[in-house]
Amino acid sequence: MAKIIYVDHEGTERAIEATNGESVMETAIKNSIPGIDADCGGACACATCHVYVDDAFMEKVGKPEDMEQSMLDFAENVQENSRLSCQISVSDELDGLRVTTPESQH
């Protein structure tokens, strides 16, 4: 189990107990976190689960793979800490992870 903290674009925080092995995207969808659409359900096909990873966790979360990176290049308002949340798998190591959702995924 790991606690994931979702921060929306207005700064509202929601802390969720996530299940290891599920993605940060899936955890968000199951808990109706606003700001993540995830239309393709986690297939890395749609780029609508874009989040910003808190600096403190950048290293633990790691870098996107090529496919994800090239998807991210076309997301809106991409930053250094942008990731697709369907590609971040929850583990004990990520306990306390903070991710911020953008105002819109489109």
Query: If binding is defined by CB under 8 A, does position 22 make contact with another protein?
Result: yes
Query: If binding is defined by CB under 8 A, does position 95 make contact with another protein?
Result: no
Q: One symbol per residue from 45 to 84: x for binding another protein (CB under 8 A), - otherwise; what is it?
A: xxx-------------------x--xx-xx----------
Query: If binding is defined by CB under 8 A, does position 26 make contact with another protein?
Result: yes
Minimum distance, C-beta of residue 77 to another protein, in the bound complex (Å): 15
Of all residues in the chain, what percent are helix, strand and coil, respectively (each to 5)? Answer: 25, 25, 50
Q: Which is nearer to another protein, 44 or 96 (CB)?
A: 44
Handedness of CA 74, 79, 85, 91 (dihedral sign): positive
Tell me how crowded residue 56 is: count the other CB atoms within 10 A of its CB. Answer: 10
CA–CA–CA angle 26, 65, 47 (5° rounding): 50
Q: Which is nearer to another protein, 10 or 59 (CB)?
A: 10
In the 8-state DSSP scheme, what is residue 62? -
Handedness of CA 40, 64, 94, 92 (dihedral sign): positive
Name the residues that contact another protein, by CB under 8 A.
Answer: 22, 26, 29-30, 32, 39-41, 43-47, 67, 70-71, 73-74, 106
